Amino acid sequence: MKICLATNNQGKIKELKSLLSSLDIEVVGLKDIGCKIDLPETGTTFQENSLQKAQYVFDNYQISCIADDSGLEIDALQGEPGVFSARYAGEHGNDKANIAKVLEKLARIENRKANFKTVVTYINADGNAYFFEGKIEGKIAHHEMGTNGFGYDPIFIPTGYSETFAELSAEIKNLISHRAKAVDGLLEFLKMKGNNKGL
């Protein structure tokens, strides 16, 4: 059984492969199926974007697919950057510029509460779509700390920890992250389907 992770983000692929390692399936990325384009993300919510990406892969490559759309929501910025997290500073995937913009906007703001949210869409071999959401609360650090992870990880401190996601080990992050919570829901769903049969 083969499932495609609908992303070109190598950090996300590595993280999701680790989270899905308990399943008896082959996990591949977009490059592995010959998809070299940036998938469409024109929705206004994480669920719309997640479904849009998964649907594109399923429709064009006839393969079961897992897609996610994730973002950072900052209370003091009325939920920004939200669905625009990956391109907050203009250029898609420019982590340094995105982080710099967040830190600049929060420079004189005391309330640094934030959360990471993700919606995972799973489309099975029959074309049916299922959704799984994960969320983790935390706050924004005053400067970058740590070199692990990707995206906003160097400035996000999850509640209950003093380190950023980029300082925590992959093992810990994979237990507590927003993506881990969403994938946990997916794993439970797949197990209920009967030991991965009929995926």
CATH number assigned to the domain comprising residue 113: 3.90.950.10
- Residue 91 falls inside a structural domain: yes
pLDDT tens per residue across all 199 residues of the chain: 789 999 887 777 887 788 778 777 788 889 999 998 888 889 999 999 999 999 999 999 999 999 999 999 999 999 999 999 999 999 888 999 999 999 999 999 999 999 999 999 999 999 999 999 999 999 999 999 999 988 999 999 999 999 999 999 988 998 999 988 999 999 889 878 755 455 5
Q: What CA–CA distance (Å, rounded) separates 51 from 41?
A: 9
Q: How many CA atoms lie within 13 A of 161 on its CB side?
A: 21
- What is the extent of the structural domain holding 117? 2-192
Positions annotated as catalytic residues are 69
Per-residue confidence (pLDDT) for residue 23, from 0 to 100: 76
Q: Beta 26-29 vs 2-5: how paired, if at all?
A: parallel
Q: Which amino acid is at 75?
A: D
Distance CA 114, CA 131 (A): 23
Go through 113-135 and write b for each residue having 16 or more CB atoms within 10 A of its CB, e for each that does not: ebbbbbbbbbbbeeeebebbbbe
pTM of the model: 0.86
62 assigned to some structural domain: yes
In a domain, 199, yes or no: no
Tokens of 50: 């997640």
Q: For position 196, what pLDDT does the model report?
A: 47
**132, part of any domain:** yes
Total number of domains in the chain:
1
d(C-alpha 138, C-alpha 158), whole Å: 4
Residue 104 domain-assigned (yes or no)? yes
Closest residue by Cα to residue 39 from 4, 7, 17: 7
Residue 197 lies in a domain: no
Q: Give the residue ranges of DSSP H helices in the chain.
A: 10-19, 46-61, 95-105, 170-176, 178-192
User: Is the link from the previous residue into 154 a cis peptide, with omega within 30 of 0?
Assistant: no
Distance between CA atoms of 19 and 146, rounded to whole angstroms?
A: 22
Q: Which pLDDT score is estimated for 199?
A: 54
